[in-house]
Structure 1
Amino acid sequence: MKFDVAIIGGGLAGLTCGIRLAEQGKRCAIISAGQSALHFSSGSLDFLSYREDGSAISHPLAELATLSPEHPYSLLGAECVSRMAAEARRLLNDCGLRFYGDIEQNHLRVTPLGTLRATWLSPTEVPVAELEQPLPWKKIAIVGIEGFLDFQPQLAAGSLSDKGIEVITDYLHVPALDRLRNNPSEFRAINIARVLDLPENTELLAEELIRLSGDVEALILPACIGLENPDAVTLLRQRVGKPVMLVPTLPPSLLGMRMHMALRRRFQQLGGQFMPGDAVLRAETEGQNVTRIYTRNHTDIPVVAQQVVLASGSFFSNGLIAEFDRIYEPVFGLDVHDAAQRADWTQESMFSAQPYLRFGVKTDSQLHGTVAGQSLNNLYIIGAVLGGYDPISQGCGAGVSLVTAQYAAEQILALSEVAA
């Protein structure tokens, strides 16, 4: 099987890289071992949200100069990072994904617990506020779903009440959900959405929200609608006559899954080949180039590509493997950022920034992976498998994925122009 580009990993980084390449006519394959981490995502995308002292960052581009030399943003440089972020925003828009936010200034999004978190982009259904500003409503209703355990309106209400907002809580009851409600293991956000997205049930939901809305200025629901009908929330707002907002639930997350579905659909519409449920087992190299990739499902039939992109994720996706005394990258045996002593992998307090979150693959300044310090010239490393940054405490996981994905695609396209 021959391709222009083979991408290992079908998450945010792999898909957006593949889309950019496919837009320019490259024949791409994405080899995806399992469920994307997007299924566990809030749907919001961080670029650079927090300093090491935990303070929120207002203007993220202005903070790039403060990052460590190993951070992927530092490797690429501020001008390149800004340009790649703008390209990523364009690409997401072309996939039909609509966000609130701007690279010049972070905003605050409401979490399922009612707290506010600084971020770059949020789905337009998510309630947001400008940094150091209150939410735009004085009185809101947080509405749960009877029997749905993955969102507790009282918890969110308690946090928002502390911010000076008058909050009431209630539960809606839609008879169409009764069958799901009888089986708690099936009563999850995605299954609820498949029921509520049906036009007749969306109308019943609107009637229930009208009943509950009273004199509040806005209603906040768990994200359990709009998976397969992107206009469902717009229809609810029109019927209720007030803002109807969504917050993510415990995984699986509707907002994250919707993003993954939109990206995969766009990639395949452009002619990309998506290979789900397959895992890369090993690769062969000649000199400083990757020549063949062998996968679980295709056994002795190799994937051959001029360029290879590793977007396999971190420990969660087995892009990195931790044994008792070592951390390693399993496909190419790439150099990694780590700590030699296991005792240095973690901090005693679970609330502290954990050193292992900065572990990941080392690259040169063009994001080529290295083995024993030597670059593999046709292998690019992108996304969560990269080392040198903490996606949680710094709030930059999605930004790193999007920026490095666009950079790798740009480098590959530039090589094609030179060859032509």
Structure 2
Amino acid sequence: MAIESDVLVIGGGLAGASAAIEAARGGASARLVTHKENTLRNASGLIDVLGYHGSDEPIVEPFEAIPDLPDHHPYRKVGVDAVRESLALFDEITEGLYEGGHTETNALSPTYGGRVKPTSRYPKSAAAGLASRAEDTLLVGFETVTTFDAPLSAERLDSSVPFEVRGVTIPFPGEFRADARITRLARALDADELLDRENRTGTREALAERVSEHLGDAKRIGFPAILGDEEHREVRETLEDELGVPVFEVPMGPPSLPGMRLEDRLYEALETEGVRVESGNPVVGYTADEGRITAVSVDRGRREIPYHADQFVLATGGLVGKGIDSTREGVFEPVFDCHVPQPEERYEWFHDEAFDDQPYARFGVAVDDDLRPLDPEGDPEFSNLRAAGAVLGGYDMAREKSASGVSLSTGQVAGRNANEDLQ
């Protein structure tokens, strides 16, 4: 049995989804295969383009800063216009879920660690909490959600913003296990589960009652990002009606409800565009002929099934997603064994100081202007393979705050170029 498509995308995150959607919109039959759950559910849900470059001061206008980046940076490969176009596609797909598309200026969003982060797009659920709104703020944490220390976050924020921030920790309403997952708490708010059947008191109303005792002069209230999943808009609206002030979510680490909501929207878009999606089975090999990939082998149970395509896009992630891996002998790309530039001496991979500009943070495949991975001599590894997202080298996504923007823009360009090259 062989599977065939025009464009095969390997990887199910922002880059892979963008590539598959763009290829399908161009008329190609597109298929996306992904082994593990993508990293969106571990991400904050914020969409960063470029937050920092060359200093500790956040960038105000990210598009103006892109031309100053090194030539090997992924943004320089695709160009500023492509970054704008990818955000326009993102805005279309996530309409009603995100804000920020009205301006090219970065917003400053509070984080659960008590910092502010420059970002280009932010969930609508976080909009009321932007630091540009100089309104006194109450942060509310829950005893069972130990990843968000509201008093500590408030203390840190209060020292860096021009408004008062207070924090309080309260019990989550209802009887839940001490180790209850945040998804369980979100479902309780989704369903507005009854806590007092006699008085018909639901979880949302009970939460508002507990918070109201601490409101004081606060003009807005921030919660960890667990205010519902499928009904998150209704949950916020109910709390705002009960409390009389705007309510917002503070983006969190894993598991991230905003990340899961974004994942749902992206995969709805893939279905709408007719992209066939398969998950849970790894790509374990490939065949090539005269410098072109002819098929990849997908491990389905105990059988390796060939997936044929004319064009391929590699969007498997970076060091975190295992799209780039390493041993004591070196750093490598595990699917196609694409070349990963790296110092020969292992001790040159890193600097001693933890917060230094670390060389390993830029490890990834090098690509040409068409996003085709290059071999050690600087020639394309394969004429019909492109790479996108965190598998690319030449940039430090964590330091720059550029991960989402690079994934969106290189994914869209890779999908478009693949579609244009169909024979």
Structure 1 counterpart of 2:206: 204
Structure 2 counterpart of 1:369: 373
- Identify which of 154, 158, 164 aligns with 1:157: 154
In 2, the alpha carbon distance for the partners of 1:134 and 1:264 equals: 32
In 1, the alpha carbon distance for the partners of 2:369 and 2:231 equals: 42
Structure 1 counterpart of 2:40: 38
C-alpha deviation, 1:206, in angstroms: 3.6
Q: Could you say what secondary structure the match of 1:316 adopts? A: coil
C-alpha deviation, 1:129, in angstroms: 7.6
C-alpha deviation, 1:47, in angstroms: 0.5
C-alpha deviation, 1:325, in angstroms: 2.7
User: CA deviation digits over 1:106-126, x for unaligned, max 9?
Assistant: 121101122111111111222
Query: What residue identity is the alignment partner of 1:246?
Result: E
Structure 2 counterpart of 1:391: 397
Q: Could you say what secondary structure the match of 1:368 adopts? A: coil
C-alpha deviation, 1:381, in angstroms: 0.4
Structure 2 counterpart of 1:192: 185
Q: 1:147 to 1:76 in 2, by over 3 A?
A: closer
Query: What residue identity is the alignment partner of 1:167?
Result: V
Q: 1:189-268 alignment to 2 at 5 Å?
A: 189-199=182-192, 200-231=202-233, 232-268=235-271
C-alpha deviation, 1:102, in angstroms: 5.2
Structure 2 counterpart of 1:280: 283
Structure 1 counterpart of 2:14: 12
Query: What residue identity is the alignment partner of 2:269?
Result: R
Deviates more, 1:70-79 or 1:22-31: 22-31
C-alpha deviation, 1:194, in angstroms: 1.7
In 2, the alpha carbon distance for the partners of 1:102 and 1:146 equals: 37
Structure 1 counterpart of 2:353: 349
In 2, the alpha carbon distance for the partners of 1:278 and 1:329 equals: 18
User: CA deviation digits over 1:30-80, x for unaligned, max 9?
Assistant: 211112111221111110110122221111111112111110111123333
Q: 1:87-166 alignment to 2 at 5 Å?
A: 87-93=89-95, 97-101=97-101, 104-127=104-127, 134-137=132-135, 139-162=136-159, 163-166=161-164
In 1, the alpha carbon distance for the partners of 2:85 and 2:272 equals: 26
1:367/1:408 contact within 8 Å kept: yes
Q: 1:354 to 1:238 in 2, by over 3 A?
A: same
- The unaligned stretches of length 5 or more in structure 2 are 193-201
Query: What residue identity is the alignment partner of 1:191?
Result: R
- The unaligned stretches of length 5 or more in structure 1 are none
The alignment yields a C-alpha RMSD, in angstroms, of 2.2
Q: Could you say what secondary structure the match of 2:374 adopts? A: strand
C-alpha deviation, 1:165, in angstroms: 2.7
Q: Could you say what secondary structure the match of 1:213 adopts? A: coil
In 2, the alpha carbon distance for the partners of 1:207 and 1:26 equals: 54
Q: 1:64 to 1:148 in 2, by over 3 A?
A: closer
> Are positions 1:403 and 2:423 aligned together?
no
User: CA deviation digits over 1:362-390, x for unaligned, max 9?
Assistant: 11110012345332222110000001111
Q: Could you say what secondary structure the match of 2:281 adopts? A: coil
Structure 1 counterpart of 2:195: none
Deviates more, 1:119-128 or 1:244-253: 119-128
Structure 2 counterpart of 1:22: 24
Structure 2 counterpart of 1:379: 385
> Are positions 1:308 and 2:301 aligned together?
no
Q: 1:67 to 1:102 in 2, by over 3 A?
A: farther
1:20/1:91 contact within 8 Å kept: no
Q: 1:168 to 1:55 in 2, by over 3 A?
A: closer
C-alpha deviation, 1:407, in angstroms: 0.8
In 1, the alpha carbon distance for the partners of 2:310 and 2:241 equals: 51
> Are positions 1:323 and 2:327 aligned together?
yes
Q: Share of identical aligned residues, percent?
A: 30
Q: Could you say what secondary structure the match of 2:297 adopts? A: strand
1:383/1:404 contact within 8 Å kept: yes
Q: Could you say what secondary structure the match of 1:370 adopts? A: coil
2:45/2:262 contact within 8 Å kept: yes
Structure 1 counterpart of 2:196: none
Q: Could you say what secondary structure the match of 2:350 adopts? A: coil
In 1, the alpha carbon distance for the partners of 2:207 and 2:218 equals: 17
